[in-house]
């Protein structure tokens, strides 16, 4: 006969092991928090933004200019991570990074379907990410006109600033994920042990398996019980 279990019975099974379940969650929480603190190198990301347009010196911008600017985004993004830009950045900053090393720190992204180009610099030090981000933005805006032959078409919208916190070491989030994961694993193990355990523990188990009423139960007695009864 197929065994079914109610929500109440399921709750009772888990409640009997609640201390063990919470302990497993606490251990996982401590492990996740320790990993975030001692084993993960914090990375900080600065972001600066440029506006790309092809209007030149005109006081107005047409829809054609906007479409052309958006189409140029991929070209500008590729140029920004080329040696022609990053080698110049390397010569201006007080860090011993080559242009190739800087390339691994710099990334770009289009902001929606707008004419805004975001420049991200990721570095283990927040202040260094800010400095490198601003130098990259300045060098690019100064040199792109000569490279592309389009003048006054790049404007710095937002300079880089010092990041407030790391992007990869959120200890609170990691600890919460660790706790939930630990609890989930513990619950799975408790339920697995219960359903794989075929031993008879109570008279209810006898009723379910034998489909018969229990006529009597022999109580379990200790040596102390015998002594008390004998006395």
According to the model, what pLDDT value does residue 219 have?
A: 67
Token pair belonging to 55: 């209007």
User: Do the beta carbons of residue 7 and residue 15 sit within 8 Å?
Assistant: no
Element (H, E) at 176: helix 171-196
According to the model, what pLDDT value does residue 69 have?
A: 67
Conformation bin of residue 211: beta by default, left when phi > 0, alpha when psi is -120 to 50: left
According to the model, what pLDDT value does residue 35 have?
A: 79
According to the model, what pLDDT value does residue 224 have?
A: 72
How many whole angstroms separate alpha carbon 110 and alpha carbon 75?
A: 12
According to the model, what pLDDT value does residue 49 have?
A: 95
According to the model, what pLDDT value does residue 1 have?
A: 42
pLDDT digits (tens, 9 = 90+) for 23-81: 999 999 998 888 777 777 889 999 999 988 765 555 556 666 667 667 778 888 999 99
Query: In the predicted model, what is the mean pLDDT of the chain?
Result: 83
Q: Which residues of the chain form CATH 3.30.70.1130?
A: 44-158
CATH C-level class of 44-158: alpha beta
State which residues of the chain have pLDDT below 50. 1-2
């Amino acid at each position: 006969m197929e065994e079914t279990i109610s929500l109440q019975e399921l709750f009772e099974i888990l409640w009997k092991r609640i201390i063990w379940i919470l302990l497993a969650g606490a251990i996982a929480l401590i492990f996740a928090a320790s990993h975030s603190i001692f084993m993960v190198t914090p990375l900080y990301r600065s972001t600066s933004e440029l506006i790309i347009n092809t209007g030149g010196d005109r006081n107005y911008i047409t829809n054609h200019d906007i479409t052309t600017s958006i189409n140029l985004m991929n070209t500008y993004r590729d140029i920004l991570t080329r040696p022609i830009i990053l080698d110049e950045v390397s010569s201006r900053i007080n860090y011993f990074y080559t242009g190739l090393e800087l390339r691994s720190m710099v990334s770009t992204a289009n902001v929606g379907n707008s004419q805004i180009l975001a420049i991200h610099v990721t570095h283990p030090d927040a202040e260094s990410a800010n400095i490198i981000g601003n130098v990259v933005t300045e060098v690019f805006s100064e040199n792109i006109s000569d490279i592309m032959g389009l003048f006054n078409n790049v404007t710095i919208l937002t300079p880089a600033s010092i990041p407030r916190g790391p992007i990869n070491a959120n200890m609170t989030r990691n600890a919460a994920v660790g706790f939930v994961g630990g609890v989930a694993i513990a619950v799975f193990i408790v339920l697995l042990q219960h359903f794989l355990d075929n031993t008879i523990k109570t008279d209810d188990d006898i009723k379910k398996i034998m489909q018969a009423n229990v006529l009597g139960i022999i109580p379990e007695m200790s040596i102390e019980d015998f002594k008390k009864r004998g006395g």
